[in-house]
Amino acid sequence: MDLDRSPLARPFPVALPVAGVTPRVARAGYKEWGRCDLTYIEVAPGTTVAGVFTRNVCCSSEVELGREQVRLGTARALVVNAGNSNAFTGYRGRAAVEGIMAQVAENLGCAPSDVFVSSTGVIGVPLPQDKAREGLAAAFTAAECSWEEAATTIGTTDTFAKGAVATAIVGGQEISLVGIVKGSGMIAPDMATMLGYVFTDAAVEPAFLQALLSAASDATFNCITVDSDTSTSDTVLAFATGQAGNTPLASIEDAGADAFAAALHDVCRQLAHLVVRDGEGAAKFIEVAVTGATSDDSARRIGLAVANSPLVKTAVAGGDANWGRVVMAVGKAGEPADRDKLSIGFGGTWAAREGQPVVDYDEAPVARHLAGDEVTIAVDLGLGEGRATVWTCDLTAGYIAINADYRS
């Protein structure tokens, strides 16, 4: 089935090569399709790596292995298989991943643990080892490809290629970051896997890179939701080749570390937003800004309760400024909230303040705001200083059509 390009799609940015990173693509033929489906990205010796992974306890072998590998902190290559997620395939699935790691390690003369593997697509079918082997062999000798080609190749049911770029000055050197991401198209029986990768030529110690990536992910990838479901394969990896020549960053006190952190956060936020913009059936991009909570964590949980509420999401789809549904979602989050201190607004206009409808509430500007394709919902708890922003898309008949009416 071919999906229409999302109405919320964005063009792929101008993304220049990152020193020490060589992306290539090939056809492994994991599915019957006339496209490249294996992405092979070599990174230079000395590259450091950090990663965050799904919290779904039924995770794939790729995730199990990746969690161990990032602790070592070094990387030489990334392999992404599209069309087969290799999830729920037991020891045979694990053997397929280890086979890929061994083949790349032999090609590069590195440790297998320096080879990161992700897979996305159909579940319950072990990744065919012969196809992986031949696809990899072809990738080793393929010409370097563009970032847009790599972003397209890691995709499955994505309706557009997603990338982001940023630069920063670190210790007098300009460093660059390029990120690509896939998600979150889902078609039975595929999974909603989100895979994101950020590459930079900056030099960053692995422990510090991990700290920065974890913090950035918490405020970006962990603040988006399409339908509250959590893939078993979600992975975000950051690779730092060090080719920019800066003194390796080891703490936020180092010169330029804050600029690098901001640039990494920026790339992660852009990528996270692009995933929402490709949410199934999405017609509106929704930002939920929560303030006045008892803590930032509490604010995030309240924001996600609003963003995950089918009643709120269908109301936005219908252009309905239904503040009562937002109040309901806040109340069910299980976080501190006081009905009589709660305020709800849309597009900068308060609809309810302190638990009651605003007396001279003018719905006209709110209706205009909700007719657009970028909707903001403000929730003020009136309790403390905690704040968070989360992003989602509306829930439309398109979501049902993609997930129920079609079978793969």
What is the closest distance, in whole angstroms, from the C-beta atom of residue 146 to a second copy in the complex?
Answer: 33
Contacts of residue 376, defined as CB under 8 A and 6 or more positions apart, other chains included, come to 286, 287, 288, 289, 346, 347, 348, 369
Q: Which is nearer to a second copy, 240 or 317 (CB)?
A: 317
What is the closest distance, in whole angstroms, from the C-beta atom of residue 86 to a second copy in the complex?
Answer: 12
What is the closest distance, in whole angstroms, from the C-beta atom of residue 40 to a second copy in the complex?
Answer: 27
What is the closest distance, in whole angstroms, from the C-beta atom of residue 122 to a second copy in the complex?
Answer: 8
Among the listed residues 218, 364, 238, 204, the one whose alpha carbon sits nearest the alpha carbon of residue 299: 218
Supply the DSSP string of 188-232, one letter for each residue. TTB----EEEEEESS-B-HHHHHHHHHHHHHHTGGGEESSS---S
Catalytic residue among 48, 156, 193, 220: 193
Q: Which is nearer to a second copy, 230 or 349 (CB)?
A: 230
Q: What are the respective helix, strand and coil percentages of the chain, to the nearest 5?
A: 35, 25, 40
* Residues forming the site for a second copy (CB under 8 A): 55-59, 87-90, 123-125, 186, 188-189, 191-192, 227-232, 308-311, 314-315, 317-318, 320, 322-325, 327-332, 334, 336-340, 342, 352, 354-357, 394-397, 399-401, 403-407
Q: Which is nearer to a second copy, 3 or 328 (CB)?
A: 328
Dist. CA 105–CA 90, nearest whole Å: 23
Q: Which is nearer to a second copy, 1 or 143 (CB)?
A: 1
Q: How far is residue 130 CA from its own chain's centroid?
A: 30
Dist. CA 201–CA 240, nearest whole Å: 6
193 as an active site residue: the answer is yes
What are the tokens at 3?
């999906």
Q: Which residue has the tokens 């920065």?
A: 212
Dist. CA 393–CA 279, nearest whole Å: 7
What is the closest distance, in whole angstroms, from the C-beta atom of residue 54 to a second copy in the complex?
Answer: 8
Contacts of residue 30, defined as CB under 8 A and 6 or more positions apart, other chains included, come to 37, 38, 81, 82, 83, 84, 121, 127, 128, 131
Residues annotated as part of the active site: 193
